[in-house]
Chains A and B, each alone.
Chain A
Amino acid sequence: MIFSSLIFVYLFLPLCLISYAAVKNLRYRNLVLVIFSLIFYAWGEPTRIIYLLLSAVLNYLFGIGVVKYKGKASKAILGVSLAYNIGMIGVFKYSGFLMENINAIFGAHFPVPEIAQLVGISFYTFQVMSYVIDCYWEKVEPQKDPMKFLLYVSLFPQLIAGPIVRYSTIAAEIDNRRTTLADLSGGLSRFVLGLAKKVILADHLFRIVDNFLGGSMENLTIVGTWYGVIMYSLYIYFDFSGYSDMAIGLGRIFGFHFNENFNHPFLCKDITEFWQRWHISLGSFFRDYLLPLSFFGVRNKYLSLFMVWFCTGIWHGASWNYIIWGLYYGMFIMLEAKLGKKKMRKIPLPIRHIYNKLVIIIGFGIFYFEDLDKLLLFLKNLTFFNSNGFVGIAEQASFCNNIFLIIAAVICTFPLLDYAKKLSERSLKTQAALSVSGTVISVILLLLSSVLLVDATTKAFLYYRF
């Protein structure tokens, strides 16, 4: 099931909220959330939900095991848990890709397995891996109650597409939480904001992207290519950050406070900062669990950087373009590290903004094209290495027809809510006025999104694939 569907907004969520509010005991409230979370997952994966449950059972045991046993036994259990979790992602996500590459390199003809990817596997597996490692490092106490652990693994707001929530973030709230009025209203507004980002902005931006980059691209002009990839960069931001807003909002409604996953990434001054603002939960996962490793007995920051960005790339999908995309970012982050923060600061701000926006936009182009021939054509089209002309009528017409959508999208990349918050601190009168306008805007956005949902075939979120 996806958040941006009428069935979720007008049936699943109200039923879940009513059932949750009807029981007062936290144990039963947790049970309600587990049941609804499993229905939520089973909606898309009715039979393969078994793998989610298996992951929950095994990692529950791994968590207890790494603490109960000491020394080598504990290390062995950690090793088994990592092998199982990485192995599951490997089988469901990378086995076909691996076999294709083995066949290509060695000229072999091994059958390529066609295993459909499990929805959300990259997200929930990373969560349970962080849990077992944190138990092993004694950063968290293992959860003894199987129901509570299943709640952590399956909690539907963050189950399918993140944020990757650490157990330590919500451990206390699993045991003891309450939803304040501020949580309820703040959570609902945040959910509606995310829904609007997805349905009003992202889905419409994607239509433009599909028109320009989705076809053969052989006749696409330079401006048309730039226009398409800039729209794609905006689309992917609103699609994914919209999902994160909905997840964080839903969590808050039920008394959970997840960490932020986006912090207005396009305001970054350099690429290093971009990744401190974009998909924060994934970046912090690799920073905490992969970066500190020594590889082949060697501790070297460039080797660590390579591993982190190789893994960041391939985490996004079993295709070479994602690996190229990851290493492309790793390269710029390495260059920025070489230059140093002081020298970076000396570069005039407008130049730094132009530099990072170009890197980000071209990066999203690499991210878009899984077909490497098309990627090459795209890169040619971006520059003057094609003979399709500079600008065509199609992009001019599309830009004029979508001018309000594009302006709205660009404005929404800025921290508008932070500005409003600062404004509200001026006086009680302003605070009251902004609070009323916030509620009115939320209702309008919900109605508008609902109308659009009735009319549209719902598009899944991009990050469902990962």
Chain B
Amino acid sequence: MNREQVRAKLTEVFQDVFDDDDIVLTDTTSAKDIEDWDSLEHINLIAAVERAFRMRFTVREVSGMKNVGEMLDILMERAK
């Protein structure tokens, strides 16, 4: 999958977790842009992304991710 395909799949996960079909993800999308994306919902989101992409984030990645761009970087890296 290329980055845009990963982004499209990730968008579906976000829409599902936050129950909002209007979510559009850019690299700079962060918790500030999605109202329900707080530290607790972040855990739910991470679990859903891990399930969808069949991978595991490290604790450092879960704690340090600043925006969707960084999440995409990690997903692309793991897909290699």
Q: Are A341 and B47 in contact (CB under 8 A)?
A: no
| Identity of the chain B residue whose Cβ is nearest the Cβ of A342 in the assembled complex | B35
A139 touches which one: B42, B44, B59, B64 (CB < 8 A)? B64
Q: Are A289 and B43 in contact (CB under 8 A)?
A: no
Residue of B36, B46, B59 ringed by the most chain A CB atoms within 10 A? B59
- Minimal beta-carbon separation of A387 from chain B (angstroms): 43
| Identity of the chain A residue whose Cβ is nearest the Cβ of B39 in the assembled complex | A287
| A299 CB contacts on chain B under 8 angstroms | 43, 46-47, 50
A293 touches which one: B39, B40, B47, B59 (CB < 8 A)? B59
B29 at the A/B interface (Cβ < 8 Å)?
no
A398 at the A/B interface (Cβ < 8 Å)?
no
| A337 CB contacts on chain B under 8 angstroms | 40-41
B44 touches which one: A287, A288, A301 (CB < 8 A)? A301
A291 at the A/B interface (Cβ < 8 Å)?
yes
A340 at the A/B interface (Cβ < 8 Å)?
yes
Given A293-B59, A299-B50: A305 and B40 interface contact (C-beta under 8 Å): yes
- Minimal beta-carbon separation of B41 from chain A (angstroms): 7
Contact residues, A112-153 vs B (CB, 8 A):
136-137, 139
A137 touches which one: B40, B47, B64 (CB < 8 A)? B64
Interface of B is mostly: helix
Bound-state CA distance A164–B59 (Å) is 21
| A136 CB contacts on chain B under 8 angstroms | 60
Q: Are A341 and B64 in contact (CB under 8 A)?
A: no
A292 at the A/B interface (Cβ < 8 Å)?
yes
A458 at the A/B interface (Cβ < 8 Å)?
no
Q: Are A291 and B40 in contact (CB under 8 A)?
A: yes
| B46 CB contacts on chain A under 8 angstroms | 292, 299
Bound-state CA distance A68–B15 (Å) is 42
- Minimal beta-carbon separation of B26 from chain A (angstroms): 22
- Minimal beta-carbon separation of A225 from chain B (angstroms): 33
Bound-state CA distance A300–B42 (Å) is 10
Interface of A is mostly: helix
- Minimal beta-carbon separation of A457 from chain B (angstroms): 42
| A139 CB contacts on chain B under 8 angstroms | 64
B28 at the A/B interface (Cβ < 8 Å)?
no
What is the number of residues of chain A that contact chain B, defined by CB distance less than 8 Å?
A: 20
- Minimal beta-carbon separation of B6 from chain A (angstroms): 20
Residue of A291, A299, A337 ringed by the most chain B CB atoms within 10 A? A299
A304 at the A/B interface (Cβ < 8 Å)?
yes
Bound-state CA distance A341–B43 (Å) is 17
Per-position 1/0 for B42-71, Cβ under 8 A of A:
111011001000000001101110000000
- Minimal beta-carbon separation of B16 from chain A (angstroms): 15
Per-position 1/0 for B24-38, Cβ under 8 A of A:
000000000001101
- Minimal beta-carbon separation of A70 from chain B (angstroms): 14
- Minimal beta-carbon separation of A112 from chain B (angstroms): 35
Bound-state CA distance A304–B42 (Å) is 11
Contact residues, A303-333 vs B (CB, 8 A):
304-305, 333
| A137 CB contacts on chain B under 8 angstroms | 60, 63-64
Bound-state CA distance A424–B20 (Å) is 43
Contact residues, A401-455 vs B (CB, 8 A):
none
Q: Are A341 and B35 in contact (CB under 8 A)?
A: yes
Bound-state CA distance A140–B64 (Å) is 13
Bound-state CA distance A128–B46 (Å) is 28
| Identity of the chain B residue whose Cβ is nearest the Cβ of A300 in the assembled complex | B47
Bound-state CA distance A272–B42 (Å) is 15
4 further interface pairs, Cβ-Cβ under 8 Å (given A292-B62, A299-B47): A136-B60, A292-B43, A299-B46, A337-B40
* CB pairs A–B below 8 angstroms (29 shown): A136-B60, A137-B60, A137-B64, A139-B64, A272-B38, A287-B39, A291-B39, A291-B40, A291-B43, A292-B46, A292-B59, A292-B63, A299-B46, A299-B47, A299-B50, A300-B43, A300-B47, A301-B40, A301-B41, A301-B43, A301-B47, A304-B40, A304-B43, A305-B40, A337-B40, A337-B41, A340-B36, A341-B35, A342-B35
